[in-house]
Chain A
C-alpha cells in the first residue's frame, strides 16, 4: 500500500498548458478516481507520476510524493522500482510478443527476482485465467477485453503498491467493462492503492472512495465519490442524467462554453 501526494502540479507541452496547480491525494489502500472529458489533462497527470512526460516533450513543476518520498527527478524505471506501475491508455500490449512474454516484460522492472515473478504470475493467472489459456498466442490477436486484462496483468507482474489505470474501460463492451471493474476492486482488496482515470464516470464513481473532476487542466470538483455521484453538476456533465434543473443549468452553461484544444489523445 502506498500513499500518493500530488501538490500544485503544472504541466505544459511547449506553449500548451495541460495542467495548472493540480493537487490530488491517493490515500493508502483506496481507489481514487480522476474524471474529466477529452483533453482535461487526465493522461498528463498519470504521465507526470510515471515520469514519462519526456516522451511527449512535456515539462512540469510541483511536487509528487510517494509515501513522503519525492518522485521528481526519478527515471521511469526508478518509479517502477518504487512500486508505481501505470497501465497505459489503449492497453498498449506488445502485439508481436506472446501473452507469456508480455507478462514477463512486466516483471522486468520489479525488484524481487525470479521467485517474486513466479508468485506474481500465479496471482495474475488466478485473476485472469484466460491469460494462462492463451499464454503462447500473440498478444495482438487477443480481443479488446483480453488485451485490457493482459495490460493489467502485465502491470501486476511487478507487484505494484500503487496502480495507475488510464481509461481501463475504454472501447470495451459493457459486460467486459463491468468485469474489469470487478477486477479492479479485487486488486485493490489485495492491498494495492489505485488511481483510476476514467471518462466513464458511472463506473469510476462506483469503484472509488474519493474522486476528482478535472476540467481544462484544473481540479473543478473533488470530494467523496458518493457525494460527487449525487451532485447535479457531475450528473449532468459526466453521467448523462438530464433532469429539469440540470437542463436549465445546461442552457445557462451554453453561453460560456469553452473550446477545448486537444492535447492528450
Chain B
C-alpha cells in the first residue's frame, strides 16, 4: 500500500510537470493552430541556460534567466520563422516546427556533448517521510510550483484582457482582427509563455531522482505530447488532466514493472502512449477537446 501511495504521489508530481509542458503546447495550438513539435527544444534551451549560469550567479537568478531565455527563444522562433509562413497550411507549419526542433536540439546537444549537467537546485536528494511514505523534496516542490503556475495561468487566461484576446483569436482569427486584436502579438505571447513554462518544466525534469540535464531530457519532454493529445489539443483543462494521467500511468507502470514482466521491460515509457491510443479510440477529440458548439 505504501508503495502504491508513493508511486501515485510521484506520478502526480511528474504529471504536473508534464501538464506544464502540455499547457504551453496547447496554448500555441489554440492561438495559432500550429502543432508545435519544437516544444521539447524550447525546454532544452531553458534548462541549458539555467545549467550554464547557476554556478556563477546562483540558482534562483539562473532559473530566472533560463525562463526568460526560453521565452525569448520561443518568441524568436515565432517572429523569425513562423511569421514568415503565415497563411500557409497548418500542416506545413507543423513540419516547419520539426525543422526548428532539429536545428535547436542539434545545437544544444552539440554544446552539452555527453555531459550530464546539474541545474544547481536547492533541494538536492533530500526526502520527506510522512507515515511511512517517503517522497523526494524535489517531487513536492515540482507539484507545488507546477500547481501554482497552472492556476495563475488559467486565471489569467480566463480573466485578463490577454486571456480574452487569446481566446478570441483562437476561436475566430478574422473576427478577432475586426475587433482590433493584433494576431501577431497574440501568437508572439503564446510562444513566449510556452517557452517560459517549458523552462520551469525543464528544471523539474532534471532534478533528483533524474541525474541532470542531458540529451535524453528532450525525450522525457516528449511525453507531454500524449498528455496534450489525450486531453484534447485545444483544451487547457485537457492539458492539465492529460499531464496527470500520463504521469500517474508512467509512475505506476514503472513501479509495478516486475508484476507486469509478461509485457517485457520498459512498459513505463510505453504506457502513456497506450493510454492515449485507448482514449482516442473512445473519444477522438480527446477527453476535453471541443466538438463544435454553435448555432447557425
Contact = CB atoms under 8 A, between A and B. Distances in A.
Contacts of A50: 178
A88 interface: yes
A14 to B, nearest CB: 14
Contacts of A104: 161, 164
A80 B179 contact: yes
A117 B181 CA distance: 15
A197 B211 CA distance: 66
A75 B179 contact: no
B295 A140 contact: yes
Contacts, number: 85
A96 B30 CA distance: 13
Chain B interface size, as a band, is: 20 to 34
B177 interface: yes
B171 interface: yes
A108 B175 contact: no
A147 B171 CA distance: 16
Contact of A88 (B161, B174, B293): B174
- Ordered nearest first, which 10 A-B pairs have the shortest CB separation? A109-B180, A80-B180, A95-B294, A76-B177, A105-B168, A92-B175, A140-B294, A77-B180, A94-B171, A55-B174
A80 B171 contact: no
B182 to A, nearest CB: 5
A236 interface: no
Contacts of A80: 178-180
A110 B180 contact: yes
Interface residues of A, number: 36
Contact of A108 (B172, B181, B295): B181
Nearest to A90: B296
Contact of B174 (A52, A108, A154): A52
B290 interface: yes
Interface of A: 50, 52, 54-55, 57, 75-77, 79-81, 85-86, 88, 90, 92, 94-97, 101, 104-106, 108-110, 138, 140-144, 147, 154, 158
Contact of B182 (A52, A77, A90, A140): A77
Contact of B177 (A52, A81, A142, A158): A52
A76 B183 CA distance: 10
B178 A97 contact: no
B295 A106 contact: no
Interface string B268-296: 00000000000000000000001001111
Given A88-B175, A94-B175, A101-B167, A158 B293 contact: no
27 contacts: A52-B174, A52-B177, A77-B180, A77-B182, A80-B179, A80-B180, A81-B180, A88-B174, A88-B175, A90-B296, A92-B174, A94-B172, A94-B175, A96-B293, A97-B167, A97-B168, A105-B181, A108-B165, A108-B181, A109-B179, A138-B293, A140-B294, A141-B295, A144-B295, A144-B296, A154-B179, A158-B179
